[in-house]
């Protein structure tokens, strides 16, 4: 009934009836050359109503009355062909039963089918052309036209479907019209050809000449296969020349809306040489769907992204735990808008308070726990070691014990590359927390650790700091010209955490493939260029020295550990990661708990950490920590020997 009440049907159906009758009449006129005798004319009139009924019925079956004509596409034209020929076949079936084809010309029926396709398809195409007439006029602008001053002159890198779609959508933007001067083909395979009247004008090497000769304002990158280093070279070459670069984002970012709507400035993660991440959606779905999932640190950058991605897999209940009410409220508000059957429960909770954890677990009975709550800021924890111990070690111990008590199926702890040969309190505390997760067990709870490096854009990341410094005119402060870090985007890291958690059987330490390490000074220079400025000219770079606890190089493996490949290219498992003296570990944690609770003696706590993690070396001043060599390797068994007797404080 809703379909019948549509007002445009009052126009569409009569128009189609007229076109059907005209096509049928034209077929008769063509066959008999305008001379139709009385008997043929009588049969013609008698067959008109059955013809219209057969064809309208097929038009309805093939959805010709559900589409919006202003958006007519090739698929719609294919449906017109199917519907027209199906209607003709249905009409032929009627004639064979009713008249046994006596008095009917087969040439008329064939011509009628062809004319119907032409008439029905043409009227829909004309309507689309009417609605897009403004776009077509702009599409006819010649490549060399420089007379218009109210448009932004654009080059599009790419000649694939994304580039073609971007061209069409750009001409539909009225607020800031664009004149697409041409396409850039990386491999020069299509040079000289045209897409909707716009030529392919060259390859990447031709861009500097085109920018100079045609005063290009914007370069839009619509080639998903273009390597990050090529983008980096382009930006570096055109820094300070007033050319703006924008990129079509990944499929996850443009899952809704148009390509042009999601066209955005190039971000620093676009310049990292990283292969796309893919996960086994079905395995993660089986791990999460219909279960109660609990996330600690849910208001943080990693915890909130975990919550967003877990929601995709439709858990029955998502319990968000954080001790900061504002970010917890914000992520709960965001997720509740798209819950679709998942119950989102925010809980004010602190992993340092075991009674509060017990209350949350007793009430909600989670099946899977993702532990992302931690103190992560290296210099800050150097100044406040007891807080690092309390949250990262005691908090993890409390949470793990509570998970075992309430028969949680799986416990996944988020760790860091700073736990490897740590030079900071933060890294050392995370290494002890890893040891807790590796040795903890009971009541069927399986524990796994996922270790990875820095994530771009996370709270405390260097990227927001650099952005603020660049916006303020500089200088951009880098600790050391040789300092390097592994980087990963937040969504990428979380996808791999979910996959690692799904394949974990218990006791593993998973390593995420972080790609190649990035020099922080190169990161700073690239961010300055992305802002359209020239490094060391428009914005200065200053070296301020390593801060307390920092080292030059980060590592993902502890000496003596080896890796095992998994079925997933970007996920590895530490082979010898469980050589831990549990008695020494838990005695040390008990003493750390007493220090935090009673004495508050930071120096004693640090000495305990040094004994629990013999690889921990404190940095003084600008001391550099380099990757371990064979001379420095200490096996897990050797470390265990050092733990032969109780720690005395």
Q: How many CB atoms lie within 10 A of CB 620?
A: 7
Check if the beta carbon of residue 628 is closer than 8 Å to that of residue 553. no
Residue 133 has a pLDDT of 56
Give residue-wise pLDDT tens across range 91-119: 888 888 888 878 788 888 888 889 988 88
Q: Which residues make up the CATH 3.40.50.720 domain(s) of the chain?
A: 139-266, 281-612
CA distance 251 to 260: 13
User: What confidence category does residue 143 fall into, taking pLDDT thresholds of 50, 70 and 90?
Assistant: very low
pLDDT of residue 506: 84
Listed range (155-159, 409-413, 481-485, 575-579) with the worst mean pLDDT: 575-579
CA dihedral 266, 272, 275, 281 (to 10 degrees): -70
Q: Angle, to 10 degrees, between the axis of helix 301-312 and the axis of helix 325-336?
A: 20
pLDDT at 632 over 50: no
Answer whether residue 357 shows pLDDT above 90.
Answer: yes
Q: In Å, how far are 145, 418, 474, 588, 591 from 616, measured between CA atoms?
A: 66, 11, 35, 15, 18
**Pairing status of strand 198-202 against strand 244-247:** unpaired
Residue range 432-444: mean pLDDT, rounded: 85
Contacts of 88 (CB under 8 A, 6+ apart): 54, 55, 109, 112, 113, 116
Report how far residue 616's alpha carbon sits from residue 639's, in angstroms, rounded to the nearest whole number: 12
| Range from 6-10, 304-308, 380-384, 564-568 carrying the lowest mean pLDDT | 6-10
Q: Please tell me the least confidently modeled range out of 120-124, 140-144, 146-150, 382-386.
A: 140-144
403 or 72: whose pLDDT is higher?
A: 403
Right CATH number for 139-266 from 3.30.565.10, 3.90.1150.10, 3.90.1300.10, 3.40.50.720?
3.40.50.720
- pLDDT of res. 326: 94
Task: Select the more confidently predicted residue: 536 or 455.
Answer: 536
What pLDDT was estimated at residue 72? 64
Residue 202 bridge partners (DSSP): 184
Q: 85: Cβ–Cβ under 8 A, 6 or more apart, which residues?
A: 113, 117
Nearest to 447 by CA among 577, 585, 262, 627: 577
The 10s digit of each residue's pLDDT in 289-299 is 999 999 999 99
Neighbour tally for 25: CB within 10 Å? 15
Q: Considering the domain 281-612 in this protein, what is its CATH number?
A: 3.40.50.720
pLDDT of 373 over the 90 cut: yes
Four-CA torsion 505, 508, 513, 514, nearest 10 degrees: 130
Higher pLDDT: 602 or 136? It is 602
Nearest to 402 by CA among 449, 352, 451, 438: 352
Q: What is the pLDDT of residue 150?
A: 63
Q: Higher model confidence: residue 396 or residue 524? A: 396
| Distance, C-alpha 427 to centroid of its chain | 28
Tell whether omega for the bond before 265 is within 30 degrees of 0, i.e. cis.
Answer: no
The yes-or-no answer on residue 551 being catalytic is no
Q: Per the residue annotation, which of 55, 232, 418, 591 is the catalytic one?
A: 418
232 or 54, higher pLDDT: 54
Q: How confident is the model at residue 277 (pLDDT cuts 50, 70, 90)?
A: low
Report, as an integer, the average pLDDT of 455-459: 64
pLDDT at site 341: 85
């Amino acid at each position: 009934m809703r379909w019948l009440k549509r007002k445009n049907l009052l126009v569409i159906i009569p128009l189609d009836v007229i076109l059907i009758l005209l096509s049928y009449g034209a077929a008769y006129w063509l066959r008999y050359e305008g001379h139709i005798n009385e008997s043929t004319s009588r049969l013609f009139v008698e067959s008109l109503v059955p013809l219209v009924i057969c064809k309208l019925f097929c038009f309805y079956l093939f959805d010709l009355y559900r589409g919006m004509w202003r958006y007519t596409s090739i698929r719609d034209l294919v449906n017109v062909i199917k519907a027209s020929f199906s209607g003709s076949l249905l009409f032929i079936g009627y004639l064979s039963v009713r008249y046994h084809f006596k008095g009917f010309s087969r040439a008329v029926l064939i011509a009628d089918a062809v004319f119907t396709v032409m008439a029905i398809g043409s009227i829909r195409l004309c309507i689309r052309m009417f609605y897009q007439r403004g776009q077509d006029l702009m599409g006819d602008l010649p490549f060399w036209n420089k007379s218009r001053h109210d448009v932004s002159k654009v080059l599009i890198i790419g000649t694939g479907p994304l580039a073609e779609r971007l061209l069409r959508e750009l001409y539909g933007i009225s607020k800031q019209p664009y004149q697409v001067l041409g396409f850039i083909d990386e491999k020069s395979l299509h040079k000289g050809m045209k897409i909707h009247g716009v030529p392919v004008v060259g390859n990447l090497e031709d861009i500097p000449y085109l920018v100079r000769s045609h005063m290009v304002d914007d370069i839009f990158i619509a080639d998903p296969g273009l390597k990050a280093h090529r983008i980096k070279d382009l930006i570096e070459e055109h820094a300070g020349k007033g050319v703006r670069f924008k990129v079509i984002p990944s499929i996850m970012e443009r899952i809704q809306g148009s390509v042009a709507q999601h066209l955005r400035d190039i971000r620093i993660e676009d310049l990292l040489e990283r292969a796309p991440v893919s996960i086994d959606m079905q395995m993660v779905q089986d791990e999460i769907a219909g279960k109660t999932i609990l996330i600690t640190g849910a208001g943080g950058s990693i915890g909130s992204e975990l919550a967003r991605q877990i929601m995709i897999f439709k858990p029955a209940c998502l319990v968000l735990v954080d001790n900061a009410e504002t970010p917890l409220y914000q992520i709960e508000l965001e997720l509740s808008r798209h819950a679709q059957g998942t119950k989102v429960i925010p809980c004010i909770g602190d992993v340092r308070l075991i009674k509060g954890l017990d209350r949350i677990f007793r009430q909600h009975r989670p099946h899977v726990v993702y532990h992302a709550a931690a103190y992560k800021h290296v210099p800050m924890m150097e100044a406040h070691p007891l807080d690092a111990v309390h949250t990262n070690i005691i908090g993890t111990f409390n949470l793990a014990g509570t998970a075992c008590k309430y028969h949680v199926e799986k416990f996944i702890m988020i760790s860091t590359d700073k736990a490897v040969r740590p030079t900071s309190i933060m890294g050392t505390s995370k290494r002890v927390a890893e040891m807790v997760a590796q040795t903890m067990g009971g009541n069927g709870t399986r524990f796994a650790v996922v270790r990875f490096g820095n994530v771009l854009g996370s709270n405390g990341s260097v990227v927001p700091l650099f952005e603020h410094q660049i916006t303020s005119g500089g200088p951009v402060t880098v600790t050391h010209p040789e300092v390097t870090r592994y980087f990963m985007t937040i969504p990428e890291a979380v996808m791999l955490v979910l996959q690692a958690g799904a394949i974990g059987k218990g006791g593993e330490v998973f390593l995420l493939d972080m790609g190649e390490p990035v020099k922080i000074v190169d990161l700073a220079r690239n961010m300055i260029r992305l802002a359209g400025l020239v490094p060391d000219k428009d914005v200065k770079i200053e070296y301020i020295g390593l801060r307390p606890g920092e080292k030059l190089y980060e590592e993902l493996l502890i000496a003596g550990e080896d890796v095992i490949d998994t079925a997933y290219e970007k996920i590895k498992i530490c082979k010898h990661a469980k050589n831990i003296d549990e008695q020494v570990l838990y005695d040390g944690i008990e003493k750390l708990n007493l220090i935090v609770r009673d004495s508050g003696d930071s120096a004693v706590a640090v000495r305990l950490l040094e004994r629990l993690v013999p690889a921990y070396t404190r940095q003084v001043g600008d001391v550099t920590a380099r990757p371990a060599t064979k001379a420095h390797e200490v096996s897990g068994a050797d470390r265990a020997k050092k733990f032969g007797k109780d720690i005395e404080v």
